[in-house]
Amino acid sequence: MTLHDDAQDAVFLEGMRFYAFHGVNAAEQELGQRFIVDVALYTNLRPAGRSDDLADTINYSSVYKRVRAVVEGPPRRLIETLAEDLAAMLLAEFPAQRVVVTVRKPEAPLRGAMLDAAGVRIDRRRPAARRPARHPGTGRPDVRRSLLRPERRPRGDPERDLP
């Protein structure tokens, strides 16, 4: 099974409702408003499906508690920032390879607008592991060179300019 196949499985929570004080307008920051949040955490659920053990999956009760803490925590001006903070937290604290976060404002202050909600949806992935440096003569992984900071690698090193 490839990583791509594993990433098709997801634990998700949809329609989480919170009251918070995010927004650009002074009234949003002072009075607050409702926010509706959806999250999907993509990971291989096959081990949990086979074992029937909570330890082999992502506990959605824990996800809910952490999402609530972020949404109801310090206010952000933009819901884009809120979504990014949620995605970063989910990738840092749960074994997901990818997360999709949707933040909706059902009472978005849009004069004359008739809509169910305004919002953002972001899709973030765990950063790929950096490949080890290769020995210039053999092409095999060179652990000693991988441990050197880029500025301390020998001159002429083909790995020197890699991020």
Q: Active-site residue numbers?
A: 105
Q: Which residue has the tokens 């765990």?
A: 126
Asked if 61 contacts 11 with a C-beta cutoff of 8 angstroms, the reply is no
H or E element at residue 64? helix 60-71
Q: Is the Cβ–Cβ distance between 147 and 139 less than 8 Å?
A: no
Report long-range pairs for 113-122 (Cβ below 8 Å, ≥24 apart).
Answer: 117/36, 119/36, 119/79, 120/79, 120/80, 120/83, 121/83, 122/80, 122/83, 122/84, 122/87
**From CA 124, how far away is CA 94, in angstroms rounded?**
13
* Bridge partners, residue 36, by sequence: 17, 104
Encoding tokens for residue 106? Answer: 């059902």
